[in-house]
A and B are shown apart, each in its own frame.
Chain A
């Protein structure tokens, strides 16, 4: 017994000493198996239009647990769309750059996409199957020059507390929407709905109109073809969408004068919503991504926090639509230094785990097939498949979206009538 006790005491002492000597190395991700020498030292630069990209930086950190000597940096390029091509030709060529589906086919971005690597190359072993097929744009010969890392959609942020407080339900049809807006006005809410309206880009009018236009075109391939070709004959397909915008304004659901006071379509929209007096804030998913971080930046929200969610705008009696569209996509610069390690990073990143993780941090909808979303997007999971559209799958081109955006903006502002806007389709710049 004494000998046993002595041995135990000795082992305890030795064990405690061993504990002093060092700690157990942290666990490595189990799914990802490195294919390159993990001691490789190199730099990888990602350029994009985001001011900051914490979600990506978190992925850098995770990747560094496997490849500790790979130095990552994310850089925002000023005037991204115009400087990207120059940067890709520059002395410090970025390894990965933001890209958008609308760049495809646009002559201006041909030099950009000329640098993009074909990510469908089996040699790269990218798991593209983890991404919803409708979000991947495949070009001729089935090449893939960009992979989405986030999905964007259109809807409205809803202050759940206000609805509860006023005994109202979140509307699910156009009629209910009108009724709710009227009810809020009666209860003293001057702006039942708000959104960014200062410029056409990401304006609330487009956010309301776009899903309806896409839905309308989805029923008529010929019309879609005309719309893509900016054929004025496609103008009438905007009518429903433009009417919805006009109704919102006319029914005083939206006070554009007040909305114009919101200086930008991102931070200011969020902070205005966090003031707590706006029941519904029309915006895109990209804007929702900034809400979490700005909760602490809003004194009003910090003082009086409330529950909020992102809902589809019930643009007709059947409810709203889920426009499943890629937000930011990544392309690999095939002319960059350290291309092997860049592809290794992409192999690491393009997985359900990492994309979902990044979406969670960014508070955007994940592009993965398992549709993992943040709780704020929960209402979108209830939208039936027949009301979910992927513009890329439908074949909607970027020039089309520009026509609708300007038309909706001008109708909303009262600069054009619906008829004028329809007849001007194809001529908006």
Chain B
């Protein structure tokens, strides 16, 4: 829907709602007004009763006076004197006026002459017609409002006819007794009883509409004239209306002198002849319903706020949608770029594999050429495998599905593994490789070893990869106390003298498929995913990764991780006292190694060269204090480790145990070292446990020659059950294992595997290699079935997953199903052999 339509719909809804609220309020208001008018009318009736009571009360006083005067045959002076005594109200007065002369006496003197009590009504046109004055006690006899001739105040008077004694004639003389009350005083008392009608003004009118008492808002001298002056009405209607007002109780609306709509309630007084009480108030004061407008205001404001809010939200949504659309387009482009890159990166090694295979097939008669082709095929295959692993990892990272599976592991083994893995390239490029460690207190840690290794390997392999031949790569690993409880802080720093990186590339180097544009780089195989994966994994582990690099100067990566310490740690490592000489040209290594050795309880001397070592050994030998063990670095200036051993053996002591240490793969020098008299080998870095294990072995047992890695005799005779549905994979594993003298039996799926185990005699199989995805019964179910077998041997047989499901969660899944290990396809036969040996070692324990 277009935005304009949404806005229009909103506006229409707002208008509709407002209209509804206004109409509702209007009708409510009308009803409320009706009720209020009715209430007002009823209050007026109450006021009428109050007025009547008041008038009756005042009339009663006048009646009492009149009766008393009549009963006593008083003169006018006596009557006035009596009333003065009886009078209690300061503002009221009484006039006694002879009917015949319209003059008489006042109880109070004239305002302008304190000695003059005479009063005359002759010019007031008030007492000429006395028909309205009834006999005492029969009615309320009240005058209209008039000007009190004694003080000029507007007043009303309650009257009675009295008979006075005429001293002159001796005959009775009729007079009118007037109890005079100022209207101003009356007005103060004569207040509408309801607070909500406080602006009400009251008037009393007679049957002709003339005011008896007149409120301020009442204009003219007659109410009827007032009505006609400000309201349009024809004479006939006016006559009818005025008749109604003076005879009935009711209410009407009319305009006042200001043109305002007013409410008039009228009700005739029962106790007076033809008088009507009028209550008059502007309608605006009557309508106490400002809340309704408040309601409308609030609703309107709320709707506007809602409308604005909707608009803002809509705009924000639109912006977000635009952003999302851009991101989607970008992601689409990235996907296309990714596929394109993948296509290129996968096709490149595939091209090599296919091409070289073709070449090899055509040169089957040339073993050298075939061998060379197979070596290259192997390289391309490994690269392809790395690429696929990285793609899987990055896809998991980007989909947020990369989970960590922590387990207890040995950091020593990890570092050894790291060194081992780096050796081929180090050797190939003749790189000066140094791996230094600090004091390692905690060997066993609790983390995702696979991912940790991946981080360390990625950084190290990059350093080696991008360092030109004969360059230098040094690794420092330090264990420190961590601020996180139960953790140690591992700092892993890899520095190289390689090609370095530009600041521009460093800004984007953690993005997938980022590879520096450099002619030297393009010749190096890489997926451009390694650093992205590394960064994500470091983040996932809560660590930091820092990079310092300058083009042509080299690169230093520093990774800091806080890793939980495993509950399981090695027992205290202490050796019997023995003198050890350690020889290396690396002062740092010497320092660390001496500290480590001394922490093991041995006495360590140091020498920085082979010649110095020879001298020290000779000196000890001559004094009869031969070193218990001599540890020599292989690569040293002047004379290397092998030559030093040879000269020790030949010139000083043929029996002193000598260990050769190297940061490199020592398989190349193994033969030479053994010939020279080496008793064992140590791989840098020299962990405490490594030294402890090796020295214990050297000092605690007969000096034995190092068991060569190429000795696979321990594997001969093993029989392994392989659950594998794929024929080719079966053939490969079967053939590879047979090269090591291992026999295999095949189970085509999980169900067959379980059946074979049910039927197998004890010891028939050493272990089971179990594929996971198989028909009928998968590897996980088969494992669970085997683990639940009755036969203890069968149910405890080691089972190792051999599967293309290579993710860490797959590994966890396998272990949880009861398996003892995991080997990912495509298989590396060295890893398979290592795994077999590990399983056997564990079984022995």
Contacts and interface: CB of A to CB of B under 8 A. Distances in A.
A76 B222 CA distance: 12
Task: Give the interface size class of chain A.
Answer: 35 or more
A240 B297 CA distance: 78
A277 to B, nearest CB: 20
Contacts of A75: 154
A31 B7 CA distance: 49
A54 B219 contact: yes
B405 interface: no
Contacts of B22: 20
Contact of A83 (B125, B126, B152, B303): B152
Interface in A290-314: 293, 296-297, 299, 302
Contacts of B125: 78
B213 to A, nearest CB: 12
B216 to A, nearest CB: 5
Interface string B73-112: 0000000000000000001000000000000000000111
A177 B791 CA distance: 155
A2 B112 contact: no
Interface in B3-56: 3-4, 7-8, 11, 14-15, 18, 22
A16 B221 CA distance: 45
A155 to B, nearest CB: 25
A92 B184 contact: yes
Nearest to B10: A9
A contacts with B: majority SS: helix
Interface residues of B, number: 50
A338 interface: no
A299 B14 CA distance: 55
A144 interface: no
Contacts of B111: 86, 89-91
B124 A78 contact: yes
A359 to B, nearest CB: 17
Nearest to B232: A296
B309 interface: no
A5 B10 CA distance: 13
A72 B307 CA distance: 50
B301 interface: yes
Select the residue from B15, B22, B126, B235 with max chain A CB neighbours within 10 A: B235
A369 interface: no
A83 to B, nearest CB: 5
Given A86-B110, A297-B235, A92 B153 contact: yes
Interface string A33-64: 00000000000000000011010011001000
A79 B124 contact: yes
Given A9-B7, A20-B293, A52-B221, A90 B153 contact: yes
Interface in B220-276: 220-222, 225-226, 228-229, 234-235, 257-258
Select the residue from A6, A82, A84 with max chain B CB neighbours within 10 A: A6
B300 interface: yes
A394 interface: no
Contacts of A9: 7-8, 11
A293 B227 CA distance: 12
A10 interface: yes
B417 interface: no
Given A21-B297, A90-B152, A293 B225 contact: yes
14 contacts: A9-B7, A10-B308, A13-B304, A21-B297, A54-B257, A58-B257, A73-B216, A75-B154, A78-B123, A78-B124, A78-B125, A79-B124, A88-B152, A92-B154
The list of the 6 closest CB pairs from A to B, nearest first, reads A87-B152, A51-B221, A52-B220, A86-B152, A79-B123, A78-B147
Given A6-B7, A92-B182, 19 more contacts: A6-B4, A13-B300, A17-B297, A17-B300, A52-B220, A52-B226, A61-B257, A71-B216, A77-B147, A79-B124, A84-B152, A85-B152, A89-B111, A89-B112, A91-B91, A91-B111, A111-B112, A293-B225, A293-B229
Interface of B: 3-4, 7-8, 11, 14-15, 18, 22, 91, 110-112, 123-126, 146-147, 149-154, 182, 184, 216, 219-222, 225-226, 228-229, 234-235, 257-258, 293, 296-297, 300-301, 303-304, 307-308, 311
Interface of A: 2, 5-6, 9-10, 13-14, 16-17, 20-21, 51-52, 54, 57-58, 61, 71-73, 75-79, 82-92, 111, 293, 296-297, 299, 302
